[in-house]
Structure formats: C-alpha cells, structure tokens
Amino acid sequence: MKYKNLIYFQNGSIGDFLMTIFFLENIHLNDDSIVLNVIVPKNFKFLSQIAKEYSYLKIILANRKSAKGLLGILSLFRFVFSKNLIITAPTPGKLSLSIKIIAKKMAFFRGSRLIGFEDGQKINKLIYSKLLKYNTKIIYPDFLKTVIRELGFEVKKEIPRLKYNKDENVLAELGLEKGTYIIFNPLAATQGRSFNQEEIIEIIDFIKTFPPKIKIILTGGKTDKEILNTFADKAIILINPDITRLCTLLDNSKLFIGVDTGTSHLASFLQVKSLVIAINGTPNWLPYYNSKATILYTIDGCQHGIYEGREHLESCRGDILRCLDNVPMIVIEKYLKALSI
C-alpha cells in the first residue's frame, strides 16, 4: 500500500532515537519515495545533529512547553489531507492519550493507517487501525525487525549503524591520540541506573594503575555537569558535546565504558569496543547488536554467579522486564583490566 508520509512518534531519548533511525532506514531502503517524519517532544537540536547525515529524515519538535513546540504541534495537521502511515512507538508503560488523539487525526485521510502497541487501554480499539504487541523478551533491534516485516516491508539492514561526519580537529584540541584514551559515561537519566561518586572514583583510579598510562574522558549531559566537574583533576570532562565530536572521540578511543544509556548505544551503533554495565538496566535494551561490546549484568535472584552472556540472560531473566541489579565492582574491575590490555 503506497503512502506519501510515514510519521513516527518518538519519546526524544537518544537511545530510542538511534533505534528509530535504524527502523526508518530500513523503510527508506524499501521505498525511498515515502517522506519519513519523526515527532519528538525534546532534545530537538541534538537529535537533529544525529540525523544530519540522513537527508530523508525530517525531525519535528512538538510539545506544549515552548513556542517552537506548539508550532510543531500545529504543523502536524498539514498531514490530515495526505495518505499516511502513522506509528506510535512501543513503550512498556501507557502512551499519552493526547498523542493518540493527534495521531488519530493525522490518519483521517482515506487509506491512512495508525499503528500502535498494546498498553492495556480499552480506547485503543477505537483509535488504532492495527495494534501490535511489544515483545520485551528479545533485544530491541530484533523486535523492530519483526515490526518492519509486520508492516509489509523487508529488513534490508540487519545491524544498526550510524553515519556521521568526522571532526578532524577534536583529538588535537584535547591533546589526544588514537587508542590512548578511554571514554567513561558513568551517569544515566536516572540515579538508579548510574554509578555513584565513590564508584566513579574507584573505576578512574583503577584505570590509572594500568600500564601504559591511559587518559580518561568523562562524558555526560547538562544535568551531569556538577557531578562530573568534581573529577576535573582526574579526567577530561566533556559536557553535552556535539555529535561529530562525540562520535569521532568514540571511534578513536581504546575503550568505551558506560551504563545503560544513550551514549552506550551511540558507541554500539559505531561498533566501538565497549564495556557496558547494566546497573538496573532493561535486558531487551542491552547492545548485543555490537559485536565488540562486553555487557555485564546481575539478574535479581539468580544464583549462577554469571555476569555476562546473552544466552544466560535470556534463560534466567524470566518474564520480568526490569530484573537486573547492581554489578559487583570486583567483577567490573576484572573485565575492565582484561579489555584495557
């Protein structure tokens, strides 16, 4: 069925947006005549930087918190008079009713379809053309492949990747050389998925014992600035770097260390050698699509004492979505030493 537009409602987080690019790139490879639009409520500038090399993607900011966001909401109604495929992204919680109503209005034109995911709300049957089930038992890129097929498209690209323009000057500006530094992103969007300050110090000091001497870059967003600046005497601090600088630094690093957050997915989209620690993370979001990633986790209640491996994770996690606990520091240090050699 031929559509003029595909409109994808996304939550504005970095990891989710990267997965959206992977999803929409597959759609584009099936039919490059469909105009692909991503609706985001936040992080418009940074997400637009990520999508810069994908000229066929149009990013629209839509929220009630800013004049630009309100104009973005109003601009959506231009889609009412065209044949659209509208998708509201899967979420483990309940999607806002206001988003569903806006999406429904955009599916007004004859032949348009609105695709969503079960979230337990009875009104869904009146709103959506088709409801799918969000399968949290498989890793997210594999789940997206099932959605691509369900929509009648072929999976043209199997492994997530990211295109970007290199920053030719950033290494020289920071006094760095390729393979001589480690990037460490210790903080996630929530405190429960982050390292605390004592753990950050312990990891930094442990890295500094390795021969030869390795420089450390600490990265984070604006809300992390106060905490990360307390380590300015131990590491290079990069707060909210632009995408070209961050990707170039990741690509040239010896190792990336990160918790379950957007920057870890960015490193994995670039296939950077990584140590990802899933502190209270969500199993289906772990970057097993990166062949160079070592992923550490602790399954709540599991007595096996195994801290890595997709097969073990999938066999012992059960049906609980958020089943992970804190990874012991001794385990992190063991893997960190092995990966840093």
Distances (CA, A) of 334 to 50, 198, 206, 234, 330: 34, 18, 10, 21, 6
Residue 88: helix, strand or coil by DSSP?
Answer: strand
* Local confidence band at 321 (pLDDT 50, 70, 90 cut-offs): confident
Spatial CA neighbour of 237 closest among 290, 186, 272: 186
Query: What gap in Å lies between CA 17 and CA 299, rounded to an integer?
Result: 27
238 and 92, same domain (yes or no): no
Owning domain of residue 113? 5-150
Given a contact cutoff of 8 angstroms between Cβ atoms, the answer to whether 106 and 7 are in contact is: yes
Given a contact cutoff of 8 angstroms between Cβ atoms, the answer to whether 271 and 161 are in contact is: yes
Ordered DSSP codes for 227-275? HHGGGTTTSEEEES--HHHHHHHHHT-SEEEEESSHHHHHHHHTT--EE
Distances (CA, A) of 252 to 179, 182, 311: 6, 9, 30
Rg (CA), the chain: 21
At 239, list the tokens. 């707060």
Query: What gap in Å lies between CA 149 and CA 124, rounded to an integer?
Result: 22
115 and 223, same domain (yes or no): no
176 and 85, same domain (yes or no): no
- Domain end: 84, 117, 150, which one? 150
Given a contact cutoff of 8 angstroms between Cβ atoms, the answer to whether 250 and 53 are in contact is: no
CB within 8 Å of 80: residues ≥ 6 apart: 105, 106, 108, 109
262 and 330, same domain (yes or no): yes
Instruction: Please report the pLDDT score of residue 319 as a whole number.
Output: 82
Alpha helices for 256-328 (secondary structure H): 262-269, 310-316
| CB neighbourhood size of 182 (10 A) | 23
Domain count, the chain: 2
Residue 136 lies in a domain: yes
Is the pLDDT score of 298 beyond 70?
Answer: yes
- What confidence tens digit (pLDDT) does each residue in 243-281 have? 999 999 999 999 999 999 999 999 999 999 999 999 998
Query: What gap in Å lies between CA 270 and CA 258, rounded to an integer?
Result: 14
Spatial CA neighbour of 340 closest among 222, 204, 238, 200: 204
178 and 230, same domain (yes or no): yes
Residue 155 lies in a domain: no
Residue 185 lies in a domain: yes
Residue 256 lies in a domain: yes
331 and 186, same domain (yes or no): yes
Residue 158 lies in a domain: no
At 92, list the tokens. 């483990």
Residue 76 lies in a domain: yes
239 and 123, same domain (yes or no): no
Residue 37 lies in a domain: yes
DSSP 118: -
214 and 75, same domain (yes or no): no
108 and 213, same domain (yes or no): no
Given a contact cutoff of 8 angstroms between Cβ atoms, the answer to whether 280 and 326 are in contact is: yes
Instruction: Please report the pLDDT score of residue 1 as a whole number.
Output: 66
| CB neighbourhood size of 265 (10 A) | 28
- What confidence tens digit (pLDDT) does each residue in 27-50 have? 999 999 999 999 999 999 999 999
187 and 328, same domain (yes or no): yes
Residue 319 lies in a domain: yes
Query: What gap in Å lies between CA 110 and CA 8, rounded to an integer?
Result: 19
pTM of the shown model: 0.95
At 282, list the tokens. 């969500």
92 preceded by cis ω (within 30°)?
no
- Domain end: 98, 117, 150, which one? 150
- What confidence tens digit (pLDDT) does each residue in 153-191 have? 999 999 999 999 999 999 999 999 999 999 999 999 899
* Local confidence band at 302 (pLDDT 50, 70, 90 cut-offs): very high
Is the pLDDT score of 340 beyond 90?
Answer: no
At 151, list the tokens. 């929509």
* Local confidence band at 93 (pLDDT 50, 70, 90 cut-offs): confident
219 and 115, same domain (yes or no): no
Given a contact cutoff of 8 angstroms between Cβ atoms, the answer to whether 286 and 312 are in contact is: no
Neighbour-count burial of 336, counting CB atoms closer than 10 A to its CB (0-12 exposed, 13-18 middle, 19+ buried): buried
| CB neighbourhood size of 130 (10 A) | 12
Distance of CA 108 to the CA centre of its chain: 31
Give me the chain's average pLDDT, please. 95
97 and 206, same domain (yes or no): no
Instruction: Please report the pLDDT score of residue 320 as a whole number.
Output: 81
Q: In this structure, what CATH number is given to the domain that contains residue 286?
A: 3.40.50.2000
| CB neighbourhood size of 218 (10 A) | 24
- What confidence tens digit (pLDDT) does each residue in 198-219 have? 999 999 999 999 988 899 999 9
